Structure 1
């Protein structure tokens, strides 16, 4: 089983969750990672390196095929490729205070996120768009 931390449209109540993850997730918990969160002009969020708290959900999945579908959705084609996002493991703090290492998709072009994106100081994209 794999755990992924999602902070944007893959969270519950959003279009990509319904399209890709609904009824395919074993467990969902709230959590945070360290980073810096931006809203991009294309309408989706980007996390880059930083020390802010970024809020999201940890989803437990049990299908490698599902992880490959998420890679495709996030524009991740593998190490050294021309990726939109990069999938790496990050320490994630769950609401109960425990730590988990989860897959996270971080934006590949930090400068573009800073230049073109709108910084979300709350670290919560769900609150930002609603």
Structure 2
């Protein structure tokens, strides 16, 4: 697998419709490519979600793909936002490349922030779509 990609998959507060400063920054320095999914599970952490990639899962995590125009700058800023640290044991999320199944049927390698903490006591978002629980409130 290539060690790099210009695409980012988001499944939480960085998606369209969220107005936090990091979402606005991402949207201003990238191009929306479409929606996609990956096999895994999505959990409600607090006001934000966390996703776990599970290659053999029947469940899907739903989100959006962006082509990063200023990749190095954006990834550094987003790593700070997602609490990614050099010591992975202390990181809230880990940024890794996985294959995303796009709505048009294609596969695209994307950076994804994977939740890096215990999920046993967390509420699972059964639909795999964070926006489903946001609209309920």
Displacement of 1:25 in angstroms is 1.1
Q: Any conservation in 2 of the 1:38–1:114 contact (CA below 8 Å)?
A: no
Displacement of 1:62 in angstroms is 2.1
TM-score normalised to the size of structure 2?
0.84
Extract unaligned runs of 5+ from structure 2.
Answer: none
TM-score normalised to the size of structure 1?
0.88
Q: How many residues align?
A: 126
Displacement of 1:22 in angstroms is 2.6
Displacement of 1:15 in angstroms is 2.6
Q: Any conservation in 1 of the 2:43–2:124 contact (CA below 8 Å)?
A: yes
Q: 1:80 to 1:29 in 2, by over 3 A?
A: same
Q: Any conservation in 1 of the 2:38–2:101 contact (CA below 8 Å)?
A: yes
Question: 1: CA distance between counterparts of 2:11 and 2:74?
Answer: 17
Question: 1: CA distance between counterparts of 2:48 and 2:82?
Answer: 11
- Counterpart for residue 102 of structure 1: 110
Aligned Cα root-mean-square deviation (Å): 1.6
- Counterpart for residue 77 of structure 1: 85
Question: 2: CA distance between counterparts of 1:79 and 1:2?
Answer: 24
| Partner SS state of residue 128, structure 1 | helix
